[in-house]
Amino acid sequence: MEERISIPILQEEESGFEFILRPQKMAEFVGQNRIKENLGIFIQAAKQRGDALDHTLLYGPPGLGKTTLAYIIANEMEGGIQSISGSAIDRPG
């Protein structure tokens, strides 16, 4: 059987379209209520301190909303984000 490797590359119009559909605020994110509550407290505490958010690691299987939550955190903290796939940095070279 032939092994295929696919590397997802978003076209400019696709990445813009995805960004428009992605929730921008914690209140718009559906599901993961316990995590949303904890992250909300985490974000609020950092804002009240006038400090950056501590390091946050989001992990789990695909489809749970980890990337979306990362973008929401960046938006709520009024900061930027650089997203990279773990598989892209998994192996050296």
pLDDT one-digit tens code per residue, 13-29? 456 667 778 899 999 99
Residue 76: closest CA among 30, 32, 41, 31: 41
In this predicted structure, what is the pLDDT of residue 14?
Answer: 52
In this predicted structure, what is the pLDDT of residue 54?
Answer: 86
CA distance 92 to 68: 27
Which CATH number is associated with domain 20-82?
A: 3.40.50.300
Question: Could you report the per-residue pLDDT of 24-61, keeping only the tens digit for each?
Answer: 999 999 999 999 999 999 999 999 999 999 888 899 99
CB atoms within 10 A of CB 24: 14
Average pLDDT (7-15) is: 51
Q: Identify the residue whose tokens are 């059987």.
A: 1
**Residue 90 scores a pLDDT above 90:** no
CA distance 51 to 70: 18
**Residue 74 scores a pLDDT above 90:** yes
The 3-state DSSP class for residue 3 equals coil
